[in-house]
Structure 1
Amino acid sequence: MSPRQRGDDGGREQRMVPRAEFRSYYGRQILKSPVWKDDIAYYFFLGGLSAGSALLAAGGDLTDRPALRRSGRLGGLVALIGGTYYLIADLGRPERFHHMLRVAKPTSPMSMGTWVLSAYGGALGAAAVAEVVPARWRRLATLTRSTARPAGLAAAVLAPAVASYTAVLLSHTAVPFWNTAKDELPFVFVGSAAASGGGLGMILAPRDQAGPARRMAVLGAVAELAAEQRMEGRLGLVGGVVHEEKPKKFLTAAKVLTAGGAVGAALFARRSRTAAVLSGAALLAGSLCTRLGVLHAGIASTKDPKYVVGPQREELAQQEQLAQRERLSAPGR
């Protein structure tokens, strides 16, 4: 054999047999699949919708758009209450959420997410109360309205963290799809939250006040679709799960609905109330399908051993190649 010939592992010796294909013991799963049901995807969606609505409400407050402010605050609070219901349903016991507030652990996405969500809920609730207190209750109305703007702005500051912490929570697991997509998943969730919040604003606010909602919907949809495209191009072997039946169904629907809603918001929603409602509904449905697609793609990635072991082998091979290049480039070689 020529000394310049190398094997497929970079060494100087040729392999006499092909590399073995990995198979798990009796074809069984290596990782246990997450026990989450679709309820947790509904929680992810409603939390993102609430965050997007709160951000839009703060903008409506600062730009003197009372209908947009009111719809954002009340819509965001209703979404947050709905999301809390699905979170508690998934936990099984409501006190489990309360127990998370016993400690604050900066290295734990779950712990930090619980504290952020609690602070956000209090601020958004305080802002939303001002929208429903009757004017005849003068003292209470004066008190709530004086605190509504600071509370609304505080909720808007916390909104990006509320929209993204669930993505960070997913990516800090051993589930191959979620872990491999850790760099893009927060951007997907934040973009989706902005698109859904803008979509709800387009539905609830009159057209003459819904300009910020249309712009946020379009920008959020573009950011979400761009992040998804980059994510799928970077997944490598794990990317095969997005072509499996259930994830593909939801993720394809999410792209079609989000793109369609963005086009409608950009081109037609300003001139037609019907177009605004339809575009907003498409964006809401697309955001929900995104969360369902991500959930089921993660579950599917635990069921096939190749998605578990393959990325680990690729990473080890890259590390070996890097180490070999460093040895060859070292002085004196």
Structure 2
Amino acid sequence: MVPQATPDSYYGRPILKQPTWKTPDVPLYLFLGGLAGASSVLAEGAALTGRPELERVARVAAGAGAGLGTVALIHDLHRPERFLNMLRVFKPTSPLSVGSWVLAPFGTLSGASAASAVTGWLPRAGRVAGAGAAALGPALATYTGALLANTAVPAWHEAHRELPYVFAGSGATAAGGLACMLVPPAQAGPARRMLAAGALMELAAAERVTHRLGLVSEPYQQGRPGRLMRTARVLTALGGSAALVAGRRSRTVSVVAGAACVAASVMTRFGVFEAGLASARDPRYVVEPQRARLRARHEEAAATMAR
């Protein structure tokens, strides 16, 4: 009997080429995009319900998040013209192309809305710009999950059903947490509710990622990515519970819970990113799922023939 091979390379070369995206540029871009997108939605809700302090903070968070995220993305690309080149073509089947076309107008609209909120100039124009940013916000907060899942990296690709929900929940948690830190508790009710809803979504989706994927779940549970993901889940659960239960009565609790949720959101993005890199380095996560799918197809074909 010939023992089953355990490949670690393909003719001396890695089976899967690792992503060239850099740390911390790309994980920070993932975090800032989620924060900005969710903050734009929170700002519009605050405007509709007459909470001016919450609206101002959320609009500034959306504009600053989009601006800093764009800087991180361009720094990873090395040359600004590479980002502009992505806008030359709109390709609906490419998450990267769609995301570029979402980021560009969102950054403009959220920046204009933030400037109006801070200076008080052109309030009507700022309000319209804020509404436009809010319309694009959910797409900005979630497209990066689809972007990672659209690669061949096993830990990202196999989690294609969950990553958009993880990123949506993480973005909402960060936006709500930041608002709880900076806004008086009396006006921060929508922020607390967004934080709690985002925490529930993120925890549920992250739980599926760490258990549904079988072997490919290991990078999310081991090493540095595992520590980041576990710490993020604990901080999200504690911060979300504290903000919802006691955040209205105590400014201190609101600030601490919000800071914990923002930190958890950062850790989630770094954990997901580093788990993907770890899965690309280990050939087991490339070969074993392929073998499992092949066995399943053979068993299905045999069952069909038996009928």
TM-score range, shorter chain: over 0.9
- 1:153-172 deviations in whole A, cap 9, x for unaligned? 22111111101111111111
Correspondence list, 1:225-304, <5 A = 225-304=203-282
Deviation at 1:79, TM superposition (A): 1.5
- 1:201-222 deviations in whole A, cap 9, x for unaligned? 1111111110000010011001
Alignment partner of 1:101 is 2:87: yes
Could you tell me which of 137, 151, 176 is aligned with 1:173? 151
**What is residue 135 of structure 2 aligned with on the other side?**
157
Counterpart residue type for residue 133 of structure 1: T
Deviation at 1:132, TM superposition (A): 2.4
**What is residue 8 of structure 2 aligned with on the other side?**
24
**What is residue 44 of structure 2 aligned with on the other side?**
58
**What is residue 27 of structure 2 aligned with on the other side?**
41
**What is residue 125 of structure 1 aligned with on the other side?**
111
Correspondence list, 1:182-261, <5 A = 182-261=160-239
Could you tell me which of 288, 304, 307 is aligned with 1:326? 304
Could you tell me which of 69, 74, 78 is aligned with 2:64? 78
2:199 and 2:282 map into 1 onto residues whose CA distance is 32
- 1:235-274 deviations in whole A, cap 9, x for unaligned? 1111121232111121111111111111111111111101
1:58 and 1:271 map into 2 onto residues whose CA distance is 25
Q: Matched residue pairs, number? A: 305
Of 282-291 and 77-86, more deviation after overlay is shown by: 77-86
Note the residue ranges of structure 2 that are not aligned, 5 or more in a row: none
Deviation at 1:152, TM superposition (A): 1.4
1:307 and 1:21 map into 2 onto residues whose CA distance is 14
1:247 and 1:63 map into 2 onto residues whose CA distance is 40
**What is residue 11 of structure 1 aligned with on the other side?**
none
2:290 and 2:195 map into 1 onto residues whose CA distance is 38
Secondary structure at 1:206's aligned position in 2?
coil
Deviation at 1:28, TM superposition (A): 5.8
1:263 and 1:218 map into 2 onto residues whose CA distance is 7
Counterpart residue type for residue 224 of structure 1: E
Larger Rg: 1
2:83 and 2:14 map into 1 onto residues whose CA distance is 31
C-alpha contact (below 8 Å) 2:63/2:113 kept by paired residues: no
1:211 and 1:67 map into 2 onto residues whose CA distance is 12
Counterpart residue type for residue 43 of structure 1: Y
Note the residue ranges of structure 1 that are not aligned, 5 or more in a row: 1-16, 135-140
- 1:14-54 deviations in whole A, cap 9, x for unaligned? xxx37614223488631122222221101110111111111
- 1:290-325 deviations in whole A, cap 9, x for unaligned? 000001000000111111101111111112222222
Deviation at 1:133, TM superposition (A): 2.6
2:25 and 2:106 map into 1 onto residues whose CA distance is 21
CA pair 185-116 structure 1, distance change in 2 beyond 3 A: same
1:28 and 1:278 map into 2 onto residues whose CA distance is 48
1:201 and 1:233 map into 2 onto residues whose CA distance is 32
Counterpart residue type for residue 310 of structure 1: E
C-alpha contact (below 8 Å) 2:102/2:136 kept by paired residues: yes
CA pair 125-223 structure 1, distance change in 2 beyond 3 A: same
How much is the aligned-residue C-alpha RMSD, in angstroms? 1.5
**What is residue 55 of structure 2 aligned with on the other side?**
69
Alignment partner of 1:116 is 2:102: yes
- 1:219-239 deviations in whole A, cap 9, x for unaligned? 100100000111221111111
